[in-house]
């Protein structure tokens, strides 16, 4: 069993892009908020000194998030560097010396998944893994078989409660608020079920393309990059049953339960798209079949959600950068007053990014003698203050051993089971679409009945 609080922070990949953009800003913020009073050790292959790592941290903070001179001075005094090859036993002997009396370190593997196994082996062999926790970055495999293999590798040396699979999306304030909104308000539970919900859809749109990372994107695609993890996590928060308490295992148990009730995807329930020009990107195959857009319909076979369609749409080179959830409610059983000619007007809308809001759609009477009205939207905007960034929140939780916002191994495998039937050789061909549009026209065919895709840009303009 891991200790209650870690007493050292070790991050592999200390000279990499993730450390520059996310880890150093998170470490500075944690020190500013009094959450990181321990040795901080960066590990990488480059033959750097402690001072060079501090210079790298200084530069990264100036570019990403801002430099707090007082907090940075404290960070500098705690920051040390270990250089060496991840496959060399000598690297881990140096790390063991740098850890000194620390008996419960947190090891953060901000490195490619292919390096997880040699690093874990080196930690265990040197004694650096004793009493330790380990944090790994997504992707957690690229299909069900590879996810199962990764879990076997991790479980050879670490208990599940010492493994923290980090998905920065779960550390976002707006995503956490989905769980809070559902279970902290009495008015949601009576309507949050098949009797009142007509459909749910989640849109994660990006205006940008692959930004010169064609070779990377060829290995993932939209389904592996954001659907299997980020989007399914959001869907779990929207559809899970109330946990027995607020503890991490209770919440993750309910996530797993609803994920197991999701029907595996069928080819007829997914459309894959690729924006025109993607194949011209460096590192992209001339006849690439990697999707830059995916639209899919999911079903949950349980008493709460039976018969309700769930739609997910994610892609690049779309008209707007925005992540939004739309929960459409069924119309009243009897239309006593004027009918709504523009479609359903009762809904909950959650804007997760770039701005954050929660809105409720309703109809109100127009002034005058006639009982006629119009659709309106009641909007609550969120105005952030000095909030924790996702990485600050998640790394702080991992140091305390709080796993609520981390993905459990069985949940990772259950998520892959949902999408696995439409990956690899079973994948449907990609359909081309023009940059700046909402993907291929074929995306409309997965909608059930009179459902339609909601345009977040149009919704914002109307509110």
Annotated catalytic sites, by residue? 230
Coil, helix or strand for 202? strand
Q: Tokens 């891991």 correspond to what residue?
A: 2
Q: Kindly provide the b/e burial profile for residues 429-444, where b requires at least 16 CB atoms within 10 angstroms of the residue's own CB.
A: ebbebeeebbbbeebe
Cα separations (Å) of 415 from 79, 238, 346?
37, 15, 30
Spatial separation of the C-alpha atoms in residues 390 and 400, rounded to whole Å? 16
Distances from the Cα of 399 to the Cα of 5, 6, 290, angstroms: 6, 5, 37
Starting at the earlier edge strand, list the strands of the sheet with 347-353: 373-381, 357-365, 347-353, 322-329, 197-205, 310-315, 293-298, 270-275, 430-433
Residue for token pair 């947190």: 106
Q: DSSP state, 443?
A: G
Q: How far is CA 175 from CA 170, 299, 357, in A?
A: 6, 21, 11
Tell me which DSSP letter residue 255 carries: H
* Full strand arrangement of the beta sheet holding 105-109: 79-83, 40-44, 8-12, 105-109, 133-137, 163-166
Degrees to nearest 5, angle at CA 243 with 239 and 249: 110
**CA dihedral (291, 424, 231, 151) positive or negative:** negative
Nearest to residue 325, comparing CAs of 239, 216, 405, 254? 239
**Pair 41, 80: CB distance under 8 Å:** yes
460: Cα separation from own chain's centroid: 23
DSSP 262: B
- Count the alpha carbons within 13 Å of 367 in the hemisphere toward its beta carbon: 0
Q: How far apart are CA 22 and CA 28, in angstroms?
A: 10
């Amino acid at each position: 069993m891991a200790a209650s609080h870690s007493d050292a922070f070790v991050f592999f990949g200390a000279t990499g892009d993730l450390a520059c953009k996310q880890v150093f800003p998170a470490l500075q913020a944690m020190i500013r908020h009094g959450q990181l009073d321990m040795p901080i050790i960066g590990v990488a292959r480059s033959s750097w000194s402690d001072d060079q790592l501090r210079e790298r941290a200084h530069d990264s903070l100036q570019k990403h998030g801002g430099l707090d001179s007082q907090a940075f001075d404290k960070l500098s005094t705690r920051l040390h560097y270990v250089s060496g090859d991840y496959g060399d036993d000598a690297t881990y002997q140096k790390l063991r010396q740098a850890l000194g009396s620390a008996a419960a370190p947190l090891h953060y593997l901000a490195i490619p998944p292919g390096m997880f196994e040699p690093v874990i082996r080196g930690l265990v062999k040197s004694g650096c893994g004793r009493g330790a926790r380990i944090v790994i970055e997504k992707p957690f495999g690229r299909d069900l078989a590879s996810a199962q293999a990764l879990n076997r590798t991790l479980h050879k040396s670490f208990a599940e409660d010492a493994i923290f699979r980090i998905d920065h999306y779960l550390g976002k304030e707006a995503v956490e608020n989905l769980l809070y909104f559902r279970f902290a308000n009495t008015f949601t539970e009576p309507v949050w079920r098949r009797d009142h919900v007509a459909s749910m859809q989640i849109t994660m749109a990006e205006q940008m393309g692959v930004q010169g990372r064609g070779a990377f994107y060829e290995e993932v695609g939209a389904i592996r990059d954001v659907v299997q993890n980020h989007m399914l996590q959001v869907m779990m928060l929207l559809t899970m049953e109330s946990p027995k308490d607020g503890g991490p295992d209770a919440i993750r148990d309910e996530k797993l339960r609803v994920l197991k009730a999701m029907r595996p995807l069928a080819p007829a329930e997914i459309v894959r798209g690729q924006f025109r020009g993607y194949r011209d990107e460096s590192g992209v195959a001339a006849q690439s079949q990697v999707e830059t857009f995916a639209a899919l319909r999911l079903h949950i076979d349980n008493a709460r959600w039976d018969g309700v369609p769930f739609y997910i749409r994610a892609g690049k080179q779309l008209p707007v950068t925005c992540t939004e959830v739309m929960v459409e409610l069924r119309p009243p059983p009897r239309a006593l007053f004027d009918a709504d000619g523009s479609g359903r007007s009762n809904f909950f809308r959650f804007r997760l990014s770039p701005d954050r809001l929660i809105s409720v759609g309703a109809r109100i009477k127009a002034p005058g003698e006639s009982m006629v009205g119009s659709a309106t939207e009641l909007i609550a905007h969120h105005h952030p203050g000095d909030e924790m960034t996702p990485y600050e929140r998640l790394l702080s939780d991992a140091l305390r051993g709080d796993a609520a916002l981390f993905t459990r191994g069985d949940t990772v495998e259950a998520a892959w089971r949902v999408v696995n039937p439409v990956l690899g050789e079973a994948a449907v061909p990609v359909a081309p679409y023009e940059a700046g549009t909402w993907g291929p026209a074929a995306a409309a065919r997965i909608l059930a009945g009179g459902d339609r895709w909601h345009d977040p840009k149009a919704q914002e303009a109307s509110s």
